[in-house]
């Protein structure tokens, strides 16, 4: 297997089509007996024949296979494919999406810096902004990212990062990525976008000018609810800095086995998303206008307030959407969720199995307010089952809710 330094991140990556990336790019089959599926290089360390080559690896671990806390040939294949899918120069893979979030932000701030973040980012991004970064004198201002002016107004002299998540995974709030990237570039601010909802198949923030893009690979890339992982892409210099500091220090890179599982998931990403997107449309069609559903929230629904922007910057929307149930009490939301027989109640998304999760699970019973539609929200994830199977399950659970 060649050293990582010979695994080039091609500058003509924009010309690779997805089929080539998913099936061939980054694979060196002649180096492992022409096996179609690459081996899991389950090794902690790598051998050197000369002191000079060992010395070179110490000097630049980002260009060498030295020790698998850093680079490993199995994860290199994954990195190369993910970078190309995003249209990025380079990619790092982590042991979770949260690790990718932490490394991308922590690696780019210093004491005294300020961050502008969209309101309600993913829970552990928010916890980092509120519980970790203030200990290092880094502050965060949350804004409603649906309104571009809010970015202009929130930026300060010491703003270092604009943190985006588009769409958000509950209310699907979207930011105009191209406009925010332009503003940030003019001001010398780094932009980071959580692209877990769309994946690079349905949105390419780097093409819109965003500096760094991350995803929870646990979701659609893994695709089978059996692996936790994270992806970060961007300019090679940025990735190298994060590799040499955050990734090597925290030791939070993806293991070879998990990289292999993610590679396996990646092969079928596009077909899974296409199937899920089709099924989701059918499920939404059933729910829209149902007497017990107050509202369906989905970015590719023509009634979605940011529908035009969604269509402009996303080429697809897939399995996540939220409904507001016309319930008269918390108990009715509970009854609905607990009546589902095939759709599982669990966090996450992106696997083969459909899921539902009620907002009220994270609201203490005494604070539940039936007049607040958010409290009656249920987020659905449509998996790989047939639409009719999913609809039938929702239907029988809705029948149990007396409105």
Residue 41 or 381 with smaller CB distance to ligand PLP: 381
Closest contact distance (angstroms) between CB of 152 and ligand PLP is 25
Closest contact distance (angstroms) between CB of 308 and ligand PLP is 23
Please select the residue that binds ligand PLP; options are 74, 175, 218, 322, rule is CB under 6 A. 218
Rounded to whole angstroms, how far apart are CA atoms 362 and 375? 9
**Which residues inside 139-168 make contact with ligand PLP, applying CB under 6 A?**
165
The count of residues interacting with ligand PLP (CB under 6 A) is 13
Residue 25 or 355 with smaller CB distance to ligand PLP: 355
Closest contact distance (angstroms) between CB of 97 and ligand PLP is 2
**Which residues inside 277-296 make contact with ligand PLP, applying CB under 6 A?**
none
Residue 14 or 130 with smaller CB distance to ligand PLP: 130
Stretch that binds ligand PLP, among 94-102, 243-251, 331-339, 351-359 (CB under 6 A): 94-102
Stretch that binds ligand PLP, among 9-17, 90-98, 269-277, 359-367 (CB under 6 A): 90-98
Stretch that binds ligand PLP, among 93-101, 180-188, 275-283, 334-342 (CB under 6 A): 93-101
168 neighbors 189 (Cβ within 8 angstroms): no
> Residue 196, interface with ligand PLP (CB under 6 A)?
yes
**Which residues inside 247-276 make contact with ligand PLP, applying CB under 6 A?**
none
Closest contact distance (angstroms) between CB of 326 and ligand PLP is 27
**Which residues inside 361-400 make contact with ligand PLP, applying CB under 6 A?**
none
Closest residue by beta carbon to ligand PLP: 97
- Token pair listed for 238: 């940025």
Residue 4 or 215 with smaller CB distance to ligand PLP: 215
Closest contact distance (angstroms) between CB of 196 and ligand PLP is 4
Burial class from Cβ neighbours inside 10 Å (0-12, 13-18, 19+) for residue 302 reads exposed
Closest contact distance (angstroms) between CB of 104 and ligand PLP is 11
HEC secondary structure over the chain: CCCHHHCCCCCCHHHCCHHHHHHCCCCCHHHHCCCCCCCCCCCCECCCCCHHHHHHHHHCHHHCCCECCCCCHHHHHHHHHHHHHHCCCEEEEECCHHHHHHHHHHCCCCCCCEEEEECCCCHHHHHHHHHHHHHHCCEEEEECCCCHHHHHHHCCCCEEEEEEECCCCCCCCCCCHHHHHHHHHHHCCEEEEECCCCHHHHCCHHHHCCCEEEEECCCCCCCCCCCCCEEEEECHHHHHHHHHHHHHHHCCECCHHHHHHHHHHHHCHHHHHHHHHHHHHHHHHHHCCCCCEEEEECCCCCCCCCHHHHHHHCCCCCCEEEEEECCCCHHHHHHHHHHCCCCEECCCCCCCCCEEEEHHHHCCHHHCCCCCHHHHEEEEECCCCCHHHHHHHHHHHHHCCCC
154 neighbors 180 (Cβ within 8 angstroms): no
Residue 320 or 360 with smaller CB distance to ligand PLP: 320
Please select the residue that binds ligand PLP; options are 96, 175, 203, 354, rule is CB under 6 A. 96
Please select the residue that binds ligand PLP; options are 230, 253, 299, 351, rule is CB under 6 A. 230
Closest contact distance (angstroms) between CB of 120 and ligand PLP is 10
Residue 16 or 120 with smaller CB distance to ligand PLP: 120
Residues that bind ligand PLP (CB under 6 A): 96-98, 122, 165, 169, 194, 196, 216, 218, 228, 230, 348
């Amino acid at each position: 297997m060649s050293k990582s330094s010979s695994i080039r991140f091609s500058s003509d990556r924009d010309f690779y089509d997805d089929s080539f990336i998913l099936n061939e790019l980054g694979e060196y089959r002649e180096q492992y007996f022409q096996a179609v599926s690459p081996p899991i290089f389950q090794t902690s360390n790598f051998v050197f024949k000369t002191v000079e080559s060992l010395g070179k690896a110490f000097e630049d671990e980002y260009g060498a296979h030295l020790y698998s806390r850093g680079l490993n040939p199995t994860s290199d294949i994954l990195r190369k494919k993910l970078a190309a899918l995003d249209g990025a120069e380079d990619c790092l893979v982590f042991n979770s999406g949260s690790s990718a979030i932490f490394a991308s932000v922590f690696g780019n701030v210093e004491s005294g810096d300020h961050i502008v973040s969209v309101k309600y980012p993913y829970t552990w991004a928010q916890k980092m902004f509120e519980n970790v970064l203030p200990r290092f004198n880094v502050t965060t201002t949350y804004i409603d990212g649906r309104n571009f002016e809010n970015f202009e107004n929130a930026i300060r002299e010491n703003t270092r990062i604009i943190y985006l998540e588009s769409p958000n995974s509950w209310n699907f709030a979207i930011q105009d990525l191209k406009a925010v990237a332009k503003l940030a570039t003019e001001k010398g601010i780094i932009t980071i976008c959580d692209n877990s909802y769309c994946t690079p198949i349905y949105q390419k923030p780097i093409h819109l000018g965003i500096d760094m893009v991350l995803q929870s690979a646990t979701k659609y890339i893994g695709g089978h609810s059996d692996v936790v992982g994270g992806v970060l892409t961007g300019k090679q210099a940025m990735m190298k800095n994060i590799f040499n500091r955050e990734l090597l220090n925290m030791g939070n890179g993806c293991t070879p086995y998990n990289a292999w599982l993610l590679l396996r998931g990646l092969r079928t990403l596009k077909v899974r998303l296409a199937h899920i997107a089709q099924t989701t449309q059918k499920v939404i069609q059933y729910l829209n206008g149902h007497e017990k559903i107050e509202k369906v929230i989905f970015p590719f629904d023509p009634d979605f307030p940011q529908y035009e922007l969604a269509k402009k910057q996303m080429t697809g929307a897939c399995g996540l959407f939220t409904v507001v149930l016309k319930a008269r009490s918390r108990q009715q939301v509970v009854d609905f969720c607990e009546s589902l027989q095939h759709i599982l109640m669990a966090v996450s998304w992106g696997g083969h199995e459909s899921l539902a999760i009620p907002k009220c699970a994270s609201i203490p019973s005494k604070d539940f307010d039936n007049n607040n539609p958010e409290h009656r929200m249920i987020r659905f994830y449509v998996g790989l089952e047939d639409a009719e199977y999913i609809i039938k399950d929702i239907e029988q659970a809705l029948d149990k809710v007396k409105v």
